[in-house]
Structure 1
Amino acid sequence: MRLIATDLDGTLLRSGGVLSDRTADALRLARRSGATVVVVTARPPRFADPYAGLVDLAVCGNGAVVYDPTARQIVASHALDVPTARKTADALRAALPGIGCAVETGHRVFLEPAFTWRCANDTEACCPEPIQVELGSFEEVLDRAELITKILAHHPTMDVDAMLATAREALGDRVEVTHSGGAGLLEICAAGVTKASTLARMCAERGFLASDVVAFGDAPNDLSVLRWAGTSYAMGNAHPDVLAAVARRTLTNNEDGVAVVLEGLFA
């Protein structure tokens, strides 16, 4: 295998966002063996910074951004435009009463008051301003967002799978809607932007084929990559839809399931 594509939360990382020594060693082993390692995550670029030196690139925001964690630089972006973001938020409020919306820019998150979900570990010591910024309205959010990598939509009580089905029916093909397992939290990117679409474009630019790729994932937003890659593994802790779609299994994230496979491939 020439390229490793792995999700972060629930896949590469143990519970609590911990990268085990065994998994870090397995990533080093793969790179020493000549493989390119790419994180493919719903997380924004700032969450890839700790893995500089262990990974080559990061596909972030469910495909909205390609990021170089060593240079701390966005290499490419596939953003939502403001009119589409506004129409999407309006349609979501009509279909899912009680939701709140936020916009992720890749560097910061701008929230309307109804968006009550918070990411407890979304901080950056070198940033002089807060990462998560609450504004007075969604229009203010749109005014402040210099780049809309994705919309976040949260409902405090609804089941996220039910939310996803309703949102996809309401929004059609104007955007891409998915979730990564967060309670009541949907993630919306521009139409045609998925983890797989961006990874495939990045691979084509660098001379990799789908058959060169081994992929790992656990959540519905990983399905596009797991279906595209030549070899794919569902984590033992994966969402039922992932387990149903992917034939190969590895151990859970807390059992270092990614490392187990990489050790077998590159030892």
Structure 2
Amino acid sequence: MIASDLDGTLLRNDGTLSPRTLRALRAAEEAGTEIVIVTARPPRFVDRLAEATGLAGTAVCSNGALVYDIATRTVVSSRILPVTTAHRVATALAAVVPGVGFALETGNQVVYEPAYRLRMSEDAGAELPVPTLADLWLTEAPVTKLLAWSDRLDADTLMAAARPGAGDEVQLTHSGGRGLLEISAPGVTKAGTLAVLCAARGIDATEVIAFGDMPNDLTALAWAGRGYAMANAHPAVLAAVPTHTGTNEEDGVADVIERLFAAQVRPRRPTAGRGSW
């Protein structure tokens, strides 16, 4: 199995998948290797990528909270964050970080209160504002992540501030967004969900190659038999992961795959359709 993060790893900075990387992924798949996307992104983002590239197979979304079948657009399994837990953690965090704003990610929408002023172009059409912070906790949709955003603190500082009040109730991480902290149900990690997937498929961790660039990728990079940090990775990732590859702009993922599957990688016209890469 090849398990790869998207932003800053598999995708270029403009959000596209290069022809070289797409060719390398197809070659690995044709050689019998399953490709699994492992991302903080929600399914709706993966859907758009699939439409542009022909991506199919399985995606681990929302940092491990969701397992998603790309071809059928179906959530196969989920680990939901109770709204009551999100409320408690948000209250504790707001007490130590004045002005922090909150949103709830449901996989289909981002529900946000007035202090959450972070806007992402890729979420256009999926954002749902509520009048007050109190209204946020009335959300009835299953929640995959609580998002906390500060315009004053970077993500590392925000995570350090959140830890004392969060306790063991939640899983804290971030994927490099400025001042954006991602909060999931306890035990939800990319590695944990990958381990379940691999166990069902009879794949050992030693047979997994993982790629990533941010702190939310660390569990997967440490768990996999081979974990590669991108050259553009967060300093904590570069320090923790001994094996590095080129940047996402340099097709660092493709470079590794081409060396591992040298006999299969041949320049050729991309295959059309959603059934394969």
Tell me the TM-score normalized by structure 1: 0.94
1:225–1:78 distance in 2 versus 1, CA, 3 Å: same
| CA–CA separation in structure 1 for the residues paired with 2:256 and 2:56 | 17
1:75 paired with 2:76, answer: yes
| CA–CA separation in structure 2 for the residues paired with 1:4 and 1:43 | 18
Residue identity in the other structure for 1:175: V
Q: What is the CA-CA distance between 1:242 and the residue it aligns to?
A: 0.4
- For residue 5 of structure 1, give the secondary structure of its aligned residue in structure 2: strand
| CA–CA separation in structure 1 for the residues paired with 2:202 and 2:83 | 34
Q: What is the CA-CA distance between 1:142 and the residue it aligns to?
A: 2.9
| CA–CA separation in structure 2 for the residues paired with 1:20 and 1:56 | 19
Aligned equivalent of 1:219, options 192, 214, 224: 214
Partner of 1:51: 50
Aligned equivalent of 1:202, options 190, 197, 202: 197
Q: What is the CA-CA distance between 1:199 and the residue it aligns to?
A: 1.1
Preserved CA contact (<8 Å) 2:229 2:241 = yes
1:166 paired with 2:154, answer: no
| CA–CA separation in structure 1 for the residues paired with 2:235 and 2:188 | 23
Preserved CA contact (<8 Å) 2:2 2:209 = yes
Partner of 2:112: 111
Q: What is the CA-CA distance between 1:54 and the residue it aligns to?
A: 3.1
- For residue 174 of structure 1, give the secondary structure of its aligned residue in structure 2: coil
Q: What is the CA-CA distance between 1:164 and the residue it aligns to?
A: 1.1
Q: What is the CA-CA distance between 1:159 and the residue it aligns to?
A: 1.8
Preserved CA contact (<8 Å) 1:103 1:145 = no
What does the per-residue CA deviation read over 1:201-257, in whole Å, with 9 as the maximum and x for residues that have no partner?
111112111111000000000001001001010000000100011111100000000
Partner of 1:22: 20
Q: Percent identity?
A: 54
Q: What is the CA-CA distance between 1:75 and the residue it aligns to?
A: 0.7
| CA–CA separation in structure 1 for the residues paired with 2:164 and 2:222 | 22
Preserved CA contact (<8 Å) 2:110 2:127 = yes
Unaligned runs of 5+ in 2: 263-277
Residue identity in the other structure for 1:15: N
Partner of 1:4: 2
Aligned length: 259
Preserved CA contact (<8 Å) 2:55 2:70 = no
What does the per-residue CA deviation read over 1:7-63, in whole Å, with 9 as the maximum and x for residues that have no partner?
000000010211111111111111111110001000001111123643421100011
Partner of 1:127: none
Partner of 1:121: 122
- For residue 156 of structure 2, give the secondary structure of its aligned residue in structure 1: helix
Aligned equivalent of 2:130, options 135, 153, 157: 135
Q: What is the CA-CA distance between 1:162 and the residue it aligns to?
A: 0.9
CA RMSD of aligned residues (A): 1.2
What does the per-residue CA deviation read over 1:100-126, in whole Å, with 9 as the maximum and x for residues that have no partner?
000000111100111000111224xxx
Q: What is the CA-CA distance between 1:170 and the residue it aligns to?
A: 2.2
What does the per-residue CA deviation read over 1:68-111, in whole Å, with 9 as the maximum and x for residues that have no partner?
11111111100011211110111111121110000000111100
1:175–1:120 distance in 2 versus 1, CA, 3 Å: same
**Farther-moved stretch of structure 1 (237-246 vs 199-208):** 199-208
Preserved CA contact (<8 Å) 2:89 2:165 = no
| CA–CA separation in structure 2 for the residues paired with 1:139 and 1:106 | 21
Tell me the TM-score normalized by structure 2: 0.91
What does the per-residue CA deviation read over 1:131-157, in whole Å, with 9 as the maximum and x for residues that have no partner?
001101233223234110000100012
| CA–CA separation in structure 1 for the residues paired with 2:140 and 2:156 | 28
Residue identity in the other structure for 2:50: Y
- For residue 10 of structure 1, give the secondary structure of its aligned residue in structure 2: helix
Partner of 2:273: none
**Farther-moved stretch of structure 1 (50-59 vs 192-201):** 50-59
Preserved CA contact (<8 Å) 1:216 1:226 = yes
Unaligned runs of 5+ in 1: 124-129
Preserved CA contact (<8 Å) 2:84 2:137 = no
| CA–CA separation in structure 2 for the residues paired with 1:57 and 1:238 | 24
- The aligned runs of 1:227-266 (5 Å cut-off) are 227-266=222-261
| CA–CA separation in structure 1 for the residues paired with 2:251 and 2:123 | 24
